[in-house]
Structure 1
Amino acid sequence: MLLKTFGWSFAITAAGLALAGVLWGWQGLAIVAILSVLEISLSFDNAVINAGILRKMNAFWQKIFLTVGILIAVFGMRLVFPIVIVAITAKLGPLEAVDLAINDKARYEELVTAAHPAIAAFGGMFLLMIFLDFIFEDRDIKWLAWLEKPLARLGKLETLSTVVALVVLLITATTLATAVPVHDGVGTVDKATTVLLAGIGGLVTYLIVGGISGFFEDRLEQEEEEAEEEAEKASAKGGPSVVGLAGKAAFFLFLYLEVIDASFSFDGVIGAFAITNDIFVMALGLGIGAMYIRSLTVFLVRKGTLDDYVYLEHGAHYAIGALAVILLITIKHEISEVVTGLIGVVLIGLSFWSSVVRNRKEAGPGDGSGAKAEVSSGV
């Protein structure tokens, strides 16, 4: 199971490190290895979130996630995306941006860093909406009941997540974005308008992609219920429609996964410039890390880990909320990637430990029924 799921990751790691050693020597090999670890530490919560969505897909779409999805993640987000950002913000042509990335790495890094407020606002708002929609939803199983129960009651107000996100964006734009330090640390610049526009873009993207995927997912559930009824009557009328609709639902969930992955990758791409400004070294190192996150996602799905450790999704969503806040804060203040990674690891670790405690209590003496009633709190 382990080799089957992580086999490609192991193979790509070996090939990637060998390539780095050949092209850039021992120093390049070390940098690629460090970037891989950085990506894994920053995106572990991403794997848990992705697993919660991927388990709704069939084996075919899980393979698409590992093949086409990883190509988008590595070449799209870790290589093409920084170049596109430079081209847009610096008003350069694509070829000029590529030439700059190859031949003037210092200037390229400066332009990417200058675009950070817009990137952080977009990604921060998208991730914040994921967290808010989760925390305002009334769930049978609650991790921090003292917090989640009152928030679930507030969540009965429609559009509350959007309102809260817009308020956060407004506060960010009028405080953190009004005096952003420039790249060389001398002087500041007003990025309020940029942050507002980028943040609204992230919010709109979430509403569109999440709304479409949710719509098809609901339709799929309805069709599956109808198909079951038809099957009981020995009729096959509902079969074809379910297959077609499942494809649509899986496709939009796949797009949703890719946008989530993109949002998670923002801090990794920006943070990687603290280690190297060579886009090819960066893409290779972050790409290897992204491959492990994909494999870990599939592993969690196939092992049923989220069903066995029910608070993991809670911990991952709290980590998402923390990452969203951190991204917005980094518009003005620098925060170490070590802090970002540790917050996610600690929150997921606590949720895992709480799940283990819960499982032990349910398996304890006098609990022969095995029923999984709501647990008020795991911590």
Structure 2
Amino acid sequence: QQPVALAGAVLLLVDAQLADSGDNRAQVLTAGVVGLVAYLVVNSLAGALRPPGRRAGSVVGRAGLVVFLYLETLDGAFSLDGVTGAFAITPDPIIIGLGLGLVGAVFVRSITVYLVRHDVLERYVYLEHGAHWAIGALAVILLLSVDHRFRIPEVLTALIGVVFIGAATGWSVRCRRRSAAATGELAPPFAAV
């Protein structure tokens, strides 16, 4: 599996980079191995719950169970991801608590529900890609910040994510305008959102 091999290679590179610091090195290795094992367990469960050739009733029940397990795993992953990402922006626990509690629980959930209910991801086709690039940049920043020689300012970390999301939104609007112009429709950039 390519994702596991890539994650393992990155983990070994970070381990080699942290050869000087013993405590930090053990924590990073433990977290990396636990993450890889969790990924493998979730993928194994998904594969085990998808056997071909079952009756319709058992397929529906099994599909419901798979969706439930998937949503619970996704919720747990986002919870862990939010805390990890918050530490990439600032080490201050008060700011992290306010950010995850107030902004994360209220604003981000509300905007996510709004985006899903109004099919915004279908209109803004590059938004999901921009989010993935922002998460990738955050992962690189986290890996660099493990080594204390690299100090990346919190403002720069936040701005990188904003730039990726802003660029994805801009490209999506541009794509919608071009598509509307080609078909002769009138499509204001933010009207249907």
Equivalence map 1:141-290=2 (5 Å): 159-175=1-17, 177-180=18-21, 189=22, 191-213=24-46, 216=49, 238=56, 240-261=57-78, 262-269=80-87, 271=89, 273-274=91-92, 276=94, 283-290=97-104
Alignment-derived partner of residue 121 in structure 2? 306
- Which AA in structure 2 matches 1:174? A
Q: Is the 1:212–1:252 Cα contact (8 Å) retained in structure 2?
A: no
| Sequence identity percentage | 39
Q: Aligned-pair distance for 1:348?
A: 1.2
Larger gyration radius, structure 1 or structure 2? 1
Q: Does 1:348 align with 2:165?
A: yes
For residues 355 and 167 of structure 1, do their structure 2 counterparts lie closer, same or farther at Cα, with a shift above 3 Å needed?
Answer: same
Q: Is the 1:312–1:355 Cα contact (8 Å) retained in structure 2?
A: yes
Partner SS for 1:334? coil
Distance 1:312 1:203 in 2: 27
Aligned Cα RMSD in Å? 3.0
Distance 1:255 1:190 in 2: 32
For residues 193 and 357 of structure 1, do their structure 2 counterparts lie closer, same or farther at Cα, with a shift above 3 Å needed?
Answer: same
How many residues are aligned here?
181
Distance 2:14 2:113 in 1: 36
Unaligned runs of 5+ in 1: 1-158, 181-188, 227-236, 370-379
Q: Is the 1:210–1:256 Cα contact (8 Å) retained in structure 2?
A: no
Distance 1:214 1:324 in 2: 27
Structure 1 length-normalised TM: 0.42
Q: Is the 1:213–1:256 Cα contact (8 Å) retained in structure 2?
A: no
Q: Aligned-pair distance for 1:326?
A: 1.1
Structure 2 length-normalised TM: 0.78
Alignment-derived partner of residue 297 in structure 1? 112
Distance 1:293 1:319 in 2: 16
Unaligned runs of 5+ in 2: 186-193
* Structure with greater contact order relative to length (CA < 8 Å, sep ≥ 6): 1
Deviation readout 1:130-182 (Å, 9 max, x if unpaired): xxxxxxxxxxxxxxxxxxxxxxxxxxxxx22222221111111111x2334xx
Distance 1:215 1:345 in 2: 39
Q: Does 1:320 align with 2:135?
A: yes
